[in-house]
Amino acid sequence: GQQLNQSPQSMFIQEGEDVSMNCTSSSIFNTWLWYKQDPGEGPVLLIALYKAGELTSNGRLTAQFGITRKDSFLNISASIPSDVGIYFCAGRTSGSRLTFGEGTQLTVNP
Amino acid sequence: SAVISQKPSRDICQRGTSLTIQCQVDSQVTMMFWYRQQPGQSLTLIATANQGSEATYESGFVIDKFPISRPNLTFSTLTVSNMSPEDSSIYLCSVEGGPGLLYNEQFFGPGTRLTVL
């Protein structure tokens, strides 16, 4: 089946630093989604990407759909304490179910 | 996005019992899904809840253990049957498609945290 490798597994950064995390797949995807999950909550959709090469921003967040359609990255600029949480990538091919990455646990030290 | 609620938000249950989790959406949606998230893990799809027909289960999940209902376009239930401690997880409902929602964008409820003793 499809597999997603998400890295890094965890990150410890200082407030104000930029963050980058990425996902790679063994399969070609048509859609990439990035979610954030706070403790005790469900995942919240941050950014959706639909086209190879697409670069999309949502505030301090920027995500890109890789040209090969097998990878995506998420950048967070000027991190703040409320950025703490687990970030998940998810991808799918047409009509198939979503496949989730293993998550990146982000800790921001004030 | 859609507003999704789940009941209960958490529960502690005895092994051998069953728990039914409800998922309510504030608008009609095309697709509804149930996921399991074991402690410290990613999300695993249990099944797609189909309105008016049997749910479509993923490999490793069976109807006898996880019966699902979807009587209409805004509501679904997941039952965790004959529970064991290994069923301790967060159970998440998600939705996709419908008026005002883009296909390929999936939205999640707040989850139900289940602990089985």
pLDDT in tens, chain B (117 residues): 789 999 999 999 999 999 999 999 999 999 999 999 999 999 999 999 999 889 999 999 999 999 999 999 999 999 999 999 999 999 999 999 887 777 778 999 999 999 999
Q: Please judge whether A42 and B109 are an interchain contact, meaning their C-beta atoms are less than 8 angstroms apart.
A: yes
Which helix H or strand E contains B24, and what residues bound it? Answer: strand B19-25
pLDDT for B101:
77
**B70: how many CB neighbours lie within 10 A of its CB?**
21
β-pairing, A19-25 vs A10-14, is unpaired
Instruction: Tell me which chain B residues have a C-beta less than 8 angstroms from the C-beta of A41.
Output: 110-111
Q: Indicate the residue of A31, A43, A102 with minimum beta-carbon distance to B108.
A: A43
Q: How far is CA B25 from the centre of its chain?
A: 12
| DSSP string across B29-91 | -SEEEEEEE-TT---EEEEEEPTTS--EEPTT--TTTS-EEEEETTEEEEEE-S--GGG-EEE
Q: Indicate the residue of A42, A90, A103 with minimum beta-carbon distance to B111.
A: A42
Give the separation between CA A88 and CA A77, rounded to whole angstroms. 17
Give the best residue of A54, A97, A104 to mutate against chain B (max B CB count within 10 A): A97
